[in-house]
Every structure is written in structure tokens, then in C-alpha cells.
Amino acid sequence: MILDQKPVILTVAEKTVHNDVYTTLFFDFAIDFRPGQFVMVWLPGIDEKPYSLSYHSPTRFGITIEAKGLFSRRAADLSPGDFVGIRGPFGNGFDIISSPHTAVVAGGCGMAPLAPLVERLHPDLFFVHGARTHEFILFPDRFAANRHITTDDGSLGHKGMVTDLLAAEIRRRADQGTPPFDRVYACGPEVMMHAVFTLCDVHGIPCQVSLERYMRCGFGVCGACVCSDQVVCKDGPVFDSKQLKKMPDFNRTALLKSGHAVPLSEYVSWRCL
Ligand code: FES
């Protein structure tokens, strides 16, 4: 079912507290969905925010919350039986190709929209996930695919950047005659996605990244989420290499809630919040 533009009131069916950072709320509701799409989550009297679906099955979906703002703390405090307004799903989602020569690069809770994608990709994909520290590695035990971990502080896996491992794997494939990647998918901090995009561009590898901008309507009417000439909620949030090359605001500028454009460093990410 498509919930569309009016919120449907759903009951929290189950709640999983992954750790002190991340919580997932599950809803027993059938929703047409493509990995990378998002829903608008409404807590009456508080606000409405976009969340990527982090779990999806024919009868259930889940959203994962990083509790650090007012809205996200309230959402993470919800319990089974509590009510939430949901609109969507919105956006385009990722193109799914069935190839063992794909790579997925996640940064922090950018893992949330990538998780249902990973479950639909070839199991032999190259999969790397980076975060500040080990606590911010989301879903550490969820996937059959071998996941390479990086942390900024070295508390888990490789100490350094996800692009260190992606670049090393691109080199290894070239040196050993393994076919190059057909596609790299990325989601995480925009500076990380830009680094992935640049690395892929140098090596002629198509990539898709999931951008985020402040969102109000979620379906292309209000203009709150514009990035260059693209409406992120409707044209995206997933953009490919060709589109990103024509988006000068990528990794540079974002609109605040007021509509004022600021450098990306002054924009607070909503992803998982
Ligand atoms: S959120 Fe309104 S146009 Fe995108």
C-alpha cells in the first residue's frame, strides 16, 4: 500500500534498542517500497521528520533513530502500542543491479537506508562501513555479507576512512585482473559521499549516493529541499554520478529550515535524527 500525502496513524508494533545510540521502531504495515526511499514521521505536537526505511518486508517496515535531538529522543522513547503518523514512501530509491561487482559504502547511520539495499544485492558485494567509534556502527550483526569496518578512533576495524578501503579494493582489482566495480552505492555524511563520488569518477565507476536536505512536504511542492536544480525529495534522494556532476551545491551548500542557504558545514544533518 502507498500511504501517500496524508499521514496514516500507525501503531508501534515492536521496538529494538540496538545500543545507547540507535533505536529501531517497527510497524506491522504493508508498504510499497524501494530501498533508498523515505517516509515522513509525524509526532503530533512536536514535528514531522523524514526517515529512511531501514527494514522492509511484505508485512512490516522499520525506521532507525539516532536519539540526539528533541524529536529523535521523543521518537526513541516511544513504546509498542504508541501511535505515529506516517506519510510516504517518497523519493526515487536506488537502482538495483544484480552483479557480484558492486560496492556499498556506509558512513554512520547512512547504514539505515543502505541496509534494505544490501539485502537485495548480490551477496558477494564489497561492503565497507565507517563511523566515529564502534558505538556508531549500526547493525553490526545483521548481514551475511562480509562487512569491512573503519572507525575514526580505531576502536573497531581499520583506523581511518571508508575511502581508504574502497581505494585499496579498486587498486587490488586492477592489479589482480578482477573485474572493476559495476556500481558503488554510498550513504553517509556528504563529505564522505563526495569523496566516494570523486574516487569513483577518477576510476570511471558509476556511483549512486543518497543526499539529504531539510524536508517539509516530502513530495516536491514546498522547495525546502532544493540542491542546485534538483528537488531532493522528489528527484532524489538518490542521485547518480552524471547528475552529481551538474550539482554545484553537492558537498557545498544546503538550505536551512528558514530557506536561507548556508555552507554545508553549518547545516545539521537530519539523517536518523
Ligand atoms: S520537501 Fe518540499 S519540495 Fe522537497
Q: What is the pLDDT of residues 210-232, one digit of tens each?
A: 999 999 999 999 999 999 999 99
For β-strands 183-187 and 207-210, DSSP reports them as: parallel
What mean pLDDT do residues 26-45 have? 95
Rounded-to-integer distance, Cα 36 and Cα 224, Å: 19
Q: What value does the mean pLDDT take over residues 114-124? A: 95
227 is known to lie in a ligand binding site:
no
Beta-strand relationship, 230-231 and 226-227:
antiparallel
* Chain segment 160-180, per-residue pLDDT in tens: 999 999 999 999 999 999 999
In the numeric block, the cell 528527484 is attached to 235
Binding site membership of 8 for ligand 1 (Cβ less than 6 Å): no
Verify whether ligand 1 is closer than 6 Å to residue 222 (CB atom): yes
Nearest atom of ligand 1 to the alpha carbon of 217: 2
**Separation of alpha carbons 71 and 76, rounded Å:** 9
Does the CB atom of residue 233 touch ligand 1 within 6 A? yes
| Ordered structural domains, the chain, with CATH | 8-90 (2.40.30.10), 102-271 (3.40.50.80)
Sequence-distant (6+) residues with CB within 8 A of 179 are 101, 173
pLDDT digits (tens, 9 = 90+) for 236-252: 999 999 999 999 999 99
Contacts of residues 232-235 at CB distance under 8 Å and 24 or more positions apart, as own/partner, are: 232/91, 233/50, 233/90, 233/91, 234/90, 234/91, 234/92, 235/92
State yes or no: pLDDT of 271 exceeds 70. Answer: no
Nearest CA to ligand 1 atom 3: 220
**For residue 146, pLDDT beyond 90:** no
- The one-letter amino acid code at 101 reads H
What are 88's three cell numbers? 510516504
